[in-house]
Amino acid sequence: MSNEENITDFIPGVHSPSPESKNNIYFLFYKNNLLVKDENDKAVIPTILDQEALGPINIQYFGSINNINCFYGEIKESYKIPNNMKLSTLKALTHKLSEDMFWIGGRAVQLVNFNKDHMYCGRCGSLTKNVDGEISKKCPNCGLTNYPRICPAIIVAVVKENKILLAHNNQFSKELYSVVSGFVEVGETFEECVRREVYEETGLKVKNIKYFGNQPWPFPNSIMIGYTAEYESGEIHVDGVEIGHADWFCSAELPLIPDSISIARKLINWFTKNH
């Protein structure tokens, strides 16, 4: 996976360096649903003119792309959504938005949730305040400072001869299979997490763990660290609770697999290209 993949021209920031413009775009959410315009079967992020039509909204600047200022905020239930707009989950907009807008929207929804989740101090309960010059919340009473939470997770393509290990998570749709993944625990290296997750989910041991690439994944706030690995030993055994089934698949007989924008699909594509 190229280090250039998933990189946009987005420049994060907390203070807008450019004057307000009609080209400003607004990532506005209601209960994690993004407000978009329908244009020729594509989703478009609203501009300042669209935002003004909605009325006053609490918005915050969080960066720019190609000299266009980007803002995020929440709309209230009482707002009337214009006929040419709709609310949709970000995941449902994977191929409706341009790729840049999808990834910037991923930043925006995490910032919206950060503001909601850290409105009050988790230590003493006081109302927090934004810190000037950075994205953080500080308690004026006890001094506790919080930053947006990012959860590191590994995702790994395990190969045995000319087959790849794919598993069906019981939270997936019925037919969907993917590579093994899981969150990193306290004190773990990424490679240790690869070994543990593969063993916990499938009962297999792996070797020759190699870095593949990484990808932010805003569902809800992960950074996926991708690896490849080789089968070492063991027989497939799943717990039946989290993982319902796992098996080895060759390139010509793959089950339903994740969407092309995900690093999971990129790992599977790597396997099919090389095996």
Q: pLDDT tens-digit profile of 240-255?
A: 889 999 999 999 999 9
Output the CA–CA distances (angstroms, integers) from residue 227 to 58, 105, 112, 192, in the order listed. 41, 26, 30, 12
On whether both 131 and 204 belong to a single domain, the answer is no
pLDDT of 124 > 60? The answer is yes
Contact 72, 112 (CB under 8 A): yes
| Full residue range of the structural domain in which residue 137 is found | 118-148
pLDDT of 25 > 80? The answer is yes
On whether both 262 and 164 belong to a single domain, the answer is yes
**Would residue 253 count as lying in a domain?**
yes
On whether both 174 and 247 belong to a single domain, the answer is yes
On whether both 221 and 264 belong to a single domain, the answer is yes
On whether both 132 and 214 belong to a single domain, the answer is no
Identify the DSSP state of 47: B
On whether both 170 and 81 belong to a single domain, the answer is no
Taking the C-alpha atoms of residue 12 and residue 216, their distance in angstroms, rounded to an integer, is: 15
Taking the C-alpha atoms of residue 12 and residue 70, their distance in angstroms, rounded to an integer, is: 9
Residue where a domain terminates, one of 131, 148, 165 = 148
The confidence band for 2, taking pLDDT boundaries of 50, 70 and 90, is very low
Contact 184, 231 (CB under 8 A): no
The confidence band for 54, taking pLDDT boundaries of 50, 70 and 90, is confident
51 phi-psi bin (left φ>0, alpha ψ -120 to 50, beta other)? alpha
Output the CA–CA distances (angstroms, integers) from residue 253 to 44, 173, 203, in the order listed. 37, 19, 23
Identify the DSSP state of 126: P
On whether both 143 and 161 belong to a single domain, the answer is no
What residues have CB less than 8 Å from 127, skipping those under 6 apart?
Answer: 119, 120, 121, 140
On whether both 54 and 19 belong to a single domain, the answer is yes
pLDDT value for 17: 78
pLDDT of 55 > 90? The answer is no
**Encoded tokens for 231:** 């089968």
CA proximity to 85, closest of 38, 27, 47, 42 = 38
Amino acid at 168: H
- What total number of domains does the chain contain? 3
On whether both 226 and 144 belong to a single domain, the answer is no
Contact 223, 154 (CB under 8 A): no
**Would residue 125 count as lying in a domain?**
yes
Segment (H or E) for 163: strand 163-169
Q: pLDDT tens-digit profile of 69-107?
A: 999 999 988 888 888 899 999 999 999 999 999 999 999
Taking the C-alpha atoms of residue 181 and residue 267, their distance in angstroms, rounded to an integer, is: 12
* ω into 220 cis (within 30 of 0): yes
Segment (H or E) for 28: strand 25-30
Give mean pLDDT, residues 199-216: 97
Amino acid at 22: K
**Would residue 59 count as lying in a domain?**
yes
Contact 190, 181 (CB under 8 A): no
pLDDT value for 121: 97
On whether both 93 and 36 belong to a single domain, the answer is yes
Taking the C-alpha atoms of residue 43 and residue 137, their distance in angstroms, rounded to an integer, is: 32
On whether both 229 and 249 belong to a single domain, the answer is yes
Strand partners, 138: 129, 145
**Would residue 218 count as lying in a domain?**
yes
Report which of residues 55 and 159 the model is more confident about.
Answer: 159
**Would residue 177 count as lying in a domain?**
yes
Between vectors from CA 217 to CA 10 and to CA 18, what angle results, nearest 5°? 20
Please give the mean pLDDT across all residues of the chain.
Answer: 93
pLDDT of 3 > 80? The answer is no
**Encoded tokens for 80:** 């009337």
